[in-house]
Amino acid sequence: MTNWVLGVVLLAALMHAFWNSLISHASDKSLFTMALHVCSALLAVPLLWVVGWPSEASYPHLLASILLHGLYIYVLTKVYTHSAFGPAYIVMRGMAPLFVMLISLLALDETFTAPAFAGLMCLSLGILFLLYTYATPQAKLTTTLKGGHLQFALLNALVIAAYTVVDGAGARLSGNPTAYVLTSAVFEPILVYLLAYRHQTRALWQFSKHNAGLIVLGSSISITSYSMVLWAMTVSPIALVSGLRETSVVFAMLISIFWFKEGRFASAAISSVLVMVGVYFLKA
């Protein structure tokens, strides 16, 4: 992986962390998540006329991606009602790169050098170590994981891995990763809206009006960052890019500590060291 690709993906991870931090501190996380995706769809429509359309060869991947993203968003909005969402999200994001690597080996015949494998493992361990941020003498790690619905987290990690591999392969076939992202963004919210939000249209509209600025900001950053990630997947192994992208969880924790004055610095510091070691190996 070149320094240029490394820098692009880490910047995309930081951007991903920023818009996820907006969600985590929203008054209604579920409505904010849905509003972000609806806004992304509205922004994507005019942009598609500027950047063009992806190649027809990528259409099957787009269809699969839309369904998988819809499933991910739908399940994710359900877990926002639980107080232990944080641990579940960390497990999802920490395990996803390992699942991506396994799928890439089996389905895409991608190979990895020993340093790349070591780097990916360090990145995942760094992310998963953030679980200790939620472990206290009153709520030990095993209790925290149980409250965070470990089974759900692992299932959604598989969904993340599936849409990551599908999108990486689709972006390679599309000839235009940005167009691929925008096309996906147009259709992603439809299924979720029909399944979970068609009876909350008024509430969604009212919430969007009161938070329009943050929603547009978050949507713009989301589209841009994912376009950067998919571009990187066209020139580097999908699993390595996925692992780097998931470091956004560490960035998000650091944002919470230094900006929102939440969280425990010790766990975040150890996670950051593990991530930096992983980045060093990926660059080797």
pLDDT at 258: 64
Mean pLDDT for 76-87 is 60
Scanning the structure block, which residue is given the tokens 């985590």? 24
pLDDT at 172: 92
pLDDT in tens, 159-216: 888 998 999 999 999 989 999 999 998 988 887 788 778 788 899 899 999 989 989 9
Mean pLDDT for 95-115 is 81
Residue 48 in contact with residue 186, Cβ under 8 Å?
yes
Angle at 20 between CA 227 and CA 12, to 5 degrees: 30
Residue 225 in contact with residue 15, Cβ under 8 Å?
yes
> In Å, how far are 1, 187, 276, 279 from 282, measured between CA atoms?
7, 34, 10, 5
Mean pLDDT for 64-81 is 76
DSSP H/E element including 139: none
pLDDT at 148: 47
φ, ψ of residue 202 in degrees (nearest 5) = -65, -45
Mean pLDDT for 88-117 is 80
- Check residues 165 and 78 and name the one with the higher pLDDT: 165
pLDDT in tens, 227-263: 999 999 988 888 888 888 877 777 666 666 666 555 5
pLDDT at 121 over 80: yes
pTM: 0.81
pLDDT at 6 over 70: yes
pLDDT in tens, 127-150: 887 777 665 544 555 555 554 466
Q: How far apart are CA 58 and CA 51, in angstroms?
A: 16
pLDDT at 39: 92
Q: How far apart are CA 284 and CA 267, in angstroms?
A: 26
- Check residues 8 and 18 and name the one with the higher pLDDT: 8
**Can you read off the two tokens belonging to residue 128?**
């998963």
Mean pLDDT over all residues of the chain? 80
SS3 of residue 55 by DSSP:
coil
Q: Is the Cα dihedral 272, 274, 277, 279 positive or negative?
A: negative
Mean pLDDT for 95-101 is 84
pLDDT at 16: 81
Number of domains in the chain: 1
Domain that holds residue 58: 3-283
pLDDT at 63: 93
> In Å, how far are 47, 59, 181, 254, 275 from 98, measured between CA atoms?
34, 26, 23, 23, 15
pLDDT at 84: 54
**What share of the chain has pLDDT > 70, as a percent?**
81
